[in-house]
Amino acid sequence: MSALLPLRRPFELAVCEASRRWLIEELWAEQAVGLIGGEPKCCKSFLALELAVSVASGAPALRRFPVRQSGPVLLFAGEDAPHVVRERIAGLAHVAGVAFEALDLHVIAVPTLRLDLPEEGRRLGDTVAALRPKLLVLDPFVRLHRIDENAAAEVAPLLAGLRALQRRYQTAVLLVHHARKGAGHARGGQALRGSSELHAWGDSNLYLRRRGERLWLSTEHRAAPSIEGLALALRTHGEALALEVVDGVAEALPSDPPGASERIAQTLAAAAAPLTRDQLRQRSRLRTQTLGQALAELTAQGRVVKEPEGYRLADR
């Protein structure tokens, strides 16, 4: 007979002090896995390096968010040349007011890192075991594998391996990942490129997006309140570049595009007389099948009435 699994009553479970729930207050939970996501040229790598420098030095992230647990940081920067990484980190250290040479930050000095290959996955695990970092930063996700990002069966094992590292060595794991092009209207997690496994995996996710010239940051945590509409700007400090919070700026988010039912309702509201199905399809710019389904729903709800001349709103 097999042994029973260990059981605990809820009041017997461990208690976590509030001060230990964060690695970086409001931005990244203690020992959390997650993503920094956004479309190209949204400063994802700058933000990842900002968090890395903050944890390695103990300086507040973005000069605003306190670091609750500082310590070693392990970084793989797969998109930039080593001299660019050095220059950016040196600049961030200068802006943070910490000594560049004293940073407890360790860069993985290889051009590629393929975690879908067992040998390279083991080497990363051995490196994490030796350094015991507070934070592991892997930038970007696309440079870590040769799998199909859209296939959940291929993405899930790779993410499971990173989760196993997090649990075994009590380290936070941050992936930098791209959003789909043209996904500016979608919620941050829904805009991520590839399998939905990526969104579901994260304990703490940060999303960057541009609205015109302005850069916006939002957060998403599994077990804490989120931040919406935090304005950021990439600014120069002498020869250094760093992201900063811009106070006093309110985000004016564009409204989501109307769904099929609302487009039909808006089209009928603007019409002086009932419209035929063909007229509705042309004016609302909907496919025939989509139009038929939406009309059936609106009619069943009593919002639209069908007459011999065509369709009209029920309250007209």
Q: Which of 245, 273, 300 is the last residue of a domain?
A: 245
The pLDDT tens digits for 276-316 are 999 988 888 888 888 888 898 888 878 889 999 999 988 65
290 in the same domain as 226: no
User: Considering its fold, how many domains does the chain have in total?
Assistant: 2
Q: How much of the chain is helix, strand and coil, in % rounded to 5?
A: 35, 25, 40
CATH number, domain of 96, equals 3.40.50.300
Among 289, 288, 291, 302, CA closest to 267? 291
Tens of pLDDT, residue by residue over 202-250, are 999 999 998 877 899 999 999 899 988 899 999 999 989 999 999 887 6
- If you search the block for the tokens 């959003």, which residue do you land on? 179
pLDDT for 31 beyond 90? yes
Domain membership of residue 10 (yes or no) is: no
Same domain, 199 and 52: yes
CB burial string 109-140: b at 16+ within 10 A, e below: eeeebebeeeebbeebbeebeebebbbbbbbb
Instruction: Please tell me whether residues 76 and 222 are part of one structural domain.
Output: yes
Statement to judge: residues 194 and 238 lie in one domain: yes
Considering the domain architecture, whether residues 235 and 272 belong to the same structural domain is answered as no
Do 159 and 174 touch, CB atoms closer than 8 A?
no
Instruction: Tell me the pLDDT tens digit for each residue of 185-200.
Output: 556 677 898 898 999 9
The parent domain of residue 286 ranges over 260-313
pTM of the model: 0.76
Residues 213 and 305 in one domain: no
- The answer as to whether 223 is a domain residue is yes
Q: In this structure, is residue 281 part of a structural domain?
A: yes
Regarding whether 157 and 229 lie in a shared domain, the answer is yes
